[in-house]
Amino acid sequence: MEITFSNPDYLWFLLVIPILIIVHLTSLKSTRRKAIKFANFDAIERVTGGEVLSKNLSLLTIRIIVVTLFVLALSGVTYWYSGPGSNFDFVLALDASNSMLTTDFTPDRIEAAKLYAGEFIDSISRSSKVGVVSFAGTSTVESELSDDLPKVKGIIKNIEARNLGGTDIGEALVTSTNVLLQSNKPRILILLTDGQSNVGVPLKDAINYVKSNQLTIYTIGIGTEKGGNYVGNVTLSLDEETLKLIAQSTDGKYFRAADEKSLRDTYSKIAKITESRIRRELAIPFLVISLILVLIEWSMINTRYRTIP
């Protein structure tokens, strides 16, 4: 459970509440002086409902609530919670660096990743939209969010490994987040890689950007326990700690795909997710409630709580 504000600067207006209390208490003193001068106390009792010098705490409470709700509405308050959802929108961010040509999967890592990503798309809700981002030294949006899932599968099949100088996971996170911002549904980013971020956008900055946009990330580390070898017998190493950090920072989960079976199982587990961060915009409800309370207050000050002349 979390509460966020799109315009937090407006929260400074809550400082009006102490001023409101001081004004209310000051007005009581003025009312008390008027009451002392009023000779007909029987009439006062009839006006105030039996209390000669009411403190009007009910009115003060309503006014405080009205101010609080109005300020929260202006600040764009949003309530986030975990709950069941029937469908989600996804972005698949697939590592397309040359290291994905390693042959410890059949026929290699990138082809296995593409195959099971296609099976994942077949298993999700037909009302979900999917976007695709490939990344190496830079990121490419292969597909914006689309509900044409067969077309998205075709796009995934055509992704090829490329040599663009390193792996920029930070940029992949930022680019994928921007694609998912088109969605109003619960949003999930699935990041699959076999390496470590060694160029480009700092991971700390990228994670903060993802968190600020309330996305959930599931990371998949693909490769054997000892890493694999590809062209030139360069030993590769999977940075599991970083992938765990990315997932945990966004209330997601890290999965290790050490073989084809575990890779397929990982996609299957993600497809069966039944909980996600759900957003509830509270600005409009709070504004409506505050207006209703204003009407109630107006009714009260013109009946039982009207000021003694």
- For residue 246, pLDDT over 90 is answered with yes
pLDDT at position 60 is: 84
Residue 10's SS3 state is helix
pLDDT at position 103 is: 86
Give the list of residues 6+ apart from residue 136 with CB closer than 8 angstroms, or none: 95, 96, 97, 98, 161, 162, 163, 164, 165, 166, 167, 168
- State the residue for tokens 């298993």: 123
The answer to whether 199 touches 166, Cβ cutoff 8 Å, is yes
pTM above 0.75, yes or no: no
CA 148/CA 188 separation, integer angstroms? 18
- Residue 184 is classified by DSSP as -
Core vs surface per residue 116-153: b (16+ CB within 10 A) or e: bbbebbeebeeebbbbbbbbbbbbeebbebeeebeebb
In 124-239, which ranges are continuous DSSP H helix?
149-157, 169-180, 203-212
Q: What is the mean pLDDT of residues 119-147?
A: 93
CA 276/CA 39 separation, integer angstroms? 66
Confidence of residue 213 (pLDDT cuts 50, 70, 90): very high
CA 59/CA 281 separation, integer angstroms? 28
**Could you tell me which residue, 52 or 118, shows the higher pLDDT?**
118
| Beta-ladder partners of 5 | 77
How many CA atoms, within 13 angstroms, populate the side-chain half-sphere of residue 153?
Answer: 13
Confidence of residue 297 (pLDDT cuts 50, 70, 90): confident
**Could you tell me which residue, 228 or 154, shows the higher pLDDT?**
154
